Amino acid sequence: MKNWRLIIVSILVATLILSACATATDKPAVEEPEEADVPEPEVEEPAEPVTITLWAQATVTESGPPPSDWIAYDIILEELGIELEYTIIPPSGDGETKLNAAAAANDLPDLFQITSTTDAKNRDNLHTYYELGLLAPVDDMFDMMPVRTETHYNNEILIGMVTFDGQIYGLPEPPIIPKREGFLIRQDWLDALGLEAPTTPEELLEVAIAFTTQDPDGNGQNDTFGMGGFIEGPGLGRRFNYVFGAYGVLDLWNFIDAGNFGLNVRDPQYYEAMQMMIQLVEADVIDPDWPTLSKDEFRARWKQGRFGIMWEDFAALTNKSNYEPFDKNFPEGTWTPLPPLTGPEGEAYYGLYEGKFQIFAVSQAAVDAGKKEAIARLLEWIATDGYYLLGFGEEGVNFNLDADGFLTLDGIDPEQAYNAPERQPYTQLRNQLVFYNTLAEISARYPNYTTEFSGKSMTPIDTYLSFFQAQNWVEGFAKKLIPAADNAADFERFYNEGLLQFVLGQKELTPEAWAEYLEGLDNLGAQEYEAIATEVLQEAGMLP
């Protein structure tokens, strides 16, 4: 009996040890002897495949990487002579730590995505790696990949952002779908109360009060608020863009008036915008948890019908996973996009468009190993022959193309469809290295559909995205060039907390208190920070 126990335990331990010690390999173990048995070819020996290590985020992190028998690996090997080793790195701070550790050990992969918490930080990190001599300039790669350069690397501003001392050290991928967020209102609530959509901040207040006090959902309960939001971005964040845009003071920096560049809080209209926000808060028309809500909680609340005015991403609003619960709770509910409010001085700006984008870089070690040309070959292939394969899968199996070149799922097995959950591992690189926002691409990603409960026709692009993109946005690409302040943590804390204190009534907003607040910012180096920002933008040719 004891012997049996010993044998079983030994087998288990041996299994565990083997599992633990085995280095992961993509190739089945049986392949090696087969390769050894293959006789030496008499024809000219093909060149050894070049191994390229690629670290990039996943588009759908939960779906995992493509399997080792992914057809793309074989095609890349056969057609390009490249053995691709793709590693998914986590997004945000975790990925940044992983990259930094590899950088510190001079162990960066050949081609990698810069990962951090913000775009500005991405650029800072790229600059750090450049200063450490870890990056290779990529200027000469553009001629090696003409199609990709035309479709992906055609934005001079972005190229400027990855250029240091006259040489380009990053490959700035096209921004995610631009100007994708917007100002929305519950049309069914407006109709129920016989109201018109607001066009000014004052009308916004009136509508918000009505939504809060007149039971717009007709359930007989006092359970609604006019507006919802949460803090996302500097100050009070961009979820209240529709208020600040009416005063021409969106975000941290004033990009509207190039001749008057500086912190927006110095603009007298910022004071007026703050007064408006205070009126809204004091009227109790904003879901009161807004200063502490997370994005997920905010989204749960519009699905619960908690408020009727908000700022939201078009895809977050319309994708099935978010819209279906709302549709089920409120079959008559409709979110209508609105143009910007017009402020007292006639200003009507929608939002600040910063152009969130990804940066890829090539390590100096890869170039030293003679891999630059192979990397360019791979990237060009992704933009040409490999575009559909890496973006959507195989034509005829995972999608079809109609006469206009748009993707269709007609005749495709639903489980094999490019947008089926099972297919996500095969297109993990699509948001990182493949897509560049053509209409066909966006239509494939956000198709029209009929809602399950109310039977409404949902048209994400026509109804929402196109409308949002047509509004009066402020071009804020230049923001990415501005480095963080030396005392960024202190500065940001004082800036954010000060504004919040005024809005929440913890500090009365008076001209004296406001002047004191501005003085506090100056004591933290605001003027010097503005001077640095101005100089940087002037050097980049973005300010006169």
Chain residues that interact with other proteins, rule: CB under 8 A: 13, 16-17, 19-24, 55, 58-65, 87-88, 90-91, 94, 97-98, 101-102, 104-105, 107, 176, 295-297, 299-301, 303-304, 313, 315-316, 319-322, 324-326, 328-329, 419-421, 424, 431, 445-446
- CB count within 10 Å of CB 370 equals 9
- Decide whether 86 or 253 has the Cβ nearer to other proteins: 86
d(CA 303, CA 105) in angstroms, rounded, equals 47
Instruction: Give Cβ neighbours of residue 268 (< 8 Å, ≥ 6 apart).
Output: none
- Decide whether 238 or 377 has the Cβ nearer to other proteins: 238
Taking the complex as a whole, how short is the minimal distance between the CB of residue 321 and other proteins, in angstroms? 5
End-to-end CA distance of the chain: 88
d(CA 69, CA 76) in angstroms, rounded, equals 12
- CB count within 10 Å of CB 311 equals 24
Taking the complex as a whole, how short is the minimal distance between the CB of residue 177 and other proteins, in angstroms? 9
Taking the complex as a whole, how short is the minimal distance between the CB of residue 483 and other proteins, in angstroms? 24
- Decide whether 55 or 290 has the Cβ nearer to other proteins: 55
Contact criterion met (CB below 8 Å) for 350 and 183: yes
Reported residue count of the chain is: 544
Nearest alpha-carbon partner for 444 in 381, 490, 400 = 400
- Decide whether 431 or 463 has the Cβ nearer to other proteins: 431
- Decide whether 329 or 457 has the Cβ nearer to other proteins: 329
Taking the complex as a whole, how short is the minimal distance between the CB of residue 383 and other proteins, in angstroms? 21
Using left for φ > 0, alpha for ψ between -120 and 50, and beta otherwise, residue 396 falls in: left
Nearest alpha-carbon partner for 224 in 268, 190, 255, 274 = 190
- Decide whether 97 or 538 has the Cβ nearer to other proteins: 97
- Decide whether 168 or 184 has the Cβ nearer to other proteins: 184
Taking the complex as a whole, how short is the minimal distance between the CB of residue 97 and other proteins, in angstroms? 7
Taking the complex as a whole, how short is the minimal distance between the CB of residue 418 and other proteins, in angstroms? 9
Q: What is the DSSP string of 141-152?
A: GGGG-HHHHHHT
Cα separation values, 538 from 126, 202, 484, 531, Å = 21, 38, 17, 10
d(CA 212, CA 224) in angstroms, rounded, equals 5
Residue 300 CA neighbour count, 13 Å, CB half: 7
- Decide whether 10 or 384 has the Cβ nearer to other proteins: 10
Taking the complex as a whole, how short is the minimal distance between the CB of residue 19 and other proteins, in angstroms? 5
Taking the complex as a whole, how short is the minimal distance between the CB of residue 320 and other proteins, in angstroms? 4
d(CA 533, CA 543) in angstroms, rounded, equals 10
